[in-house]
Structure 1
């Protein structure tokens, strides 16, 4: 609407002002106001509809109606006092309403016929030359204006989509972290509770020890969940491997924690720590393994963790979404992940991440 007001005001306001303040003839004033009002309404509607990408065949008829009104006004009201400018009004809509190829042809035709019509109406030579330049310029300006509007609109939509995507990714991260944290912690708590139950009538000291461990694990789980919610949780590979070996040994699964070099790059701890955590849950929940071997290899280019257990032939059900989540984590860190039966009755989980952060390698 603002563009319409500026366009029509620039071309028709001087002539209308003359009719209102000096000419003061009721018939002419009524004709001028009616023609200008009709042109304004049609122009605004066509412009808005096309800005909103609501094109329709009827818009061609609207453009033709505006051209008819604006070309009739100088003929009926005369070319003095600015009514000749009305001939230029339709030019701004040519490239807005019509497809590009048709708009080029229509603009070329208007560039020829508008000055010719101006000559027939008696416009001065300078005004005719002005129309020769103004018609194609007006058509081009209309096209650029709508194009820029659509570009800005698409950028806003893209920004909104990025915001929605960021929210979705954060929700996915939260759900994945919560699954990994609680899945591991609750599995460990359940295991300790089973151990305590076995000793409830035989060894009070062992029961108290297991209950103390359960209490500690529950508190750690609460802390981990809070850190996940806040987004501040940092995972240490050494800590996760310590916890993994302790939990598996408590379940009667032979497991020794390998030495972890303190010189490991900081960025590898989180993805590989999640591998250890999920592998623990996987062994406890989906297999009846008797032993589990863990190896950590730190090379010049990458750091690898491999976890193998003998429960592949005795797995109880699907591994769930945990391993799929691990694959996503490792891939996001620029690494490689594999998990599955090794063919000799063992189940192997292996992950490798670059020794240098992604983008610095």
Structure 2
């Protein structure tokens, strides 16, 4: 139970407070049995009866006032609630002393007030203190043994019962808030996944479209046929991008390593980059195959965008129980620190981390840039398939 739970104004709105006051005040009916039954009897003068009536009403008013200013379901005790609880406690002590043993039942309501007002970690102690007060008051005012036992037992049991009820309600409130927080975090996570998947899907394709558009523009004056071919390629790539987005939305898109390696040859060739692809070992599991497919796409996209390289190498092999993807180039992107911290590599790192792997990206000692992805072949279960974008 926490006393640091944020206060919810809706749960403490005026209609809710008054509704709570009406229902809780029904318990005050016992005041009209004892000590109310003695207000106008026992040979009291009219003045004494009026004083006792005013005292009884003031105690009822302080108790109801405490209910109105306090919201027990938040676990937070406000300053006004402490003040009203203090007033109720003073009256519960003073009135039995002033008016006699017929008023020793007032601490029962004080026990309930403590259970419903004090911070949860102090409420139980408040109930015990109210029980002790009932016992001391009954003893000091000469209450009969049966009355002493009955009132002491009622103060303890009713107070603990209300504390248990309050605790269960606070837990329900906390559970609802926790569910709301989980839903909010899940929505944020889903937004991050969608952003990452859109980057992975469209970043590569749009880069290729820009590259082929530049080639088509340069060839327009001297080689119309090849320029038209490049434009046709742009159309094909755009259609494929549209299909990829539709598949991603439907949740069926799966990046295949073999397809991505083959696609990378055409992309790099279009950028006049000579590429060497090396693969060894048995085929990777489907999840890891998809993960490395995304990594190849991201690595090739970065080479085309940033590297100004002449050659590139893509290597896939195994090291014991670990699969390794290594993408290198001889370009100048390694001289630009920002190239290692883009959204694509960050998103790739998140994907690989979900599969228990690591990503290393940075300049090589002999020039160029290196992207290395390592992941266990027997990958742990992750929250999302590594090669499958969010639906």
TM-score category by the smaller chain? 0.7 to 0.9
1:270 aligns with 2:290: yes
1:253–1:290 Cα contact (<8 Å) kept: yes
Aligned to 2:4: none
Pairwise CA distance, 1:289: 0.8
Match of 1:55 among 54, 78, 81: 78
**Residues of 1 paired with 2:77 and 2:243: CA distance?**
54
- 246-255 or 311-320: bigger deviation: 311-320
Q: Distance in 2 between matches of 1:163 and 1:330?
A: 24
Q: Is the 8 A contact 2:21 2:68 kept in 1?
A: no
Of 175, 182, 206, which residue of structure 2 is paired with 1:186? 206
Task: Answer yes or no: is 1:327 the counterpart of 2:349.
Answer: yes
The 3-state SS of whatever aligns with 1:178 is helix
Moved more, 339-348 or 83-92: 83-92
Which residue is equivalent to 2:236?
216
Instruction: Sort the Cα spacing of 1:146 and 1:46 in 2 relative to 1 into closer, same or farther, 3 A.
Output: farther
Q: 1:61-106 CA distances to partner (integer Å, 9 max, x unpaired)?
A: 42232234445666788877xx654331101233555578977776
> Hey, what's the Cα distance between the residues in 2 that align with 1:240 and 1:276?
7
- Alignment CA distance shift 1:105-1:273 (3 Å): closer
Counterpart selection for 1:125 from 145, 154, 168: 145
Q: Find the counterpart in structure 2 of residue 345 from structure 1.
A: 367
Verify: 1:9 aligned to 2:26, yes or no: yes
Over aligned residue pairs, what C-alpha RMSD do you find? 3.8
> Would the aligned equivalents of 1:283 and 1:289 in 2 still touch at CA under 8 Å?
yes
Question: Alpha-carbon deviations, 1:243-300, whole Å to 9, x = none?
Answer: 1111101211111444587832111133212211111111111111111111111455
From the superposition, tell whether residues 133 and 339 of structure 1 become closer, same or farther in structure 2 (CA, over 3 Å): same
User: Is 1:237 the counterpart of 2:257 in the alignment?
Assistant: yes
CA distance in 2, matches of 1:118, 1:285: 87
Gaps of 5+ in 1: none
Q: Which structure has more RCO (C-alpha within 8 Å, separation ≥ 6)?
A: 2
5+ residue gaps, structure 2: 1-16, 383-391
TM-score by length of 2: 0.75
Contact 1:299 1:355 in 2 (8 A): no
* Aligned-partner SS, 1:292: strand
TM-score by length of 1: 0.81
Number of residue equivalences: 356
**In the alignment, which residue of structure 1 is the partner of 2:114?**
94
* 2:330 is aligned with 1:310: yes
Please give the per-residue CA displacement for 1:10-63, whole angstroms capped at 9, x wherever unaligned: 4x3245379999x9999679648724640442331354268451432x544422
